[in-house]
Amino acid sequence: MTTGELLSVEPQELQFPFELKKQIACSMQLTNKTNEHVAFKVKTTNPKKYCVRPNTGIVLPHSTCDVTVTMQAQREAPPDMVCKDKFLLQSAVASPGSVPKDITPELFNKESGNRVEECKLKVNYVAPQQPPSPVREGSEEGSSPRGSVSENGNITTTDLKAVPRTNAELSSETKALISKLTEEKNSAFQQCNKLHQELELLRRQGNKTSGGIPFIYAFLIGLLGLLLGYWLK
Average pLDDT over the chain reads 80
Model confidence pLDDT, tens digit, residues 56-79: 999 999 999 999 999 999 999 999
Model confidence pLDDT, tens digit, residues 168-196: 555 777 778 888 888 877 777 777 777 77
3-state secondary structure of 51: strand
What's the distance, CA 164 to chain centroid? 25
H or E element, residue 50: strand 50-53
CATH number assigned to the domain covering 2-126: 2.60.40.10
Residue 6 in contact with residue 30, Cβ under 8 Å? no
Q: Which tops the pLDDT comparison, 21 or 232?
A: 21
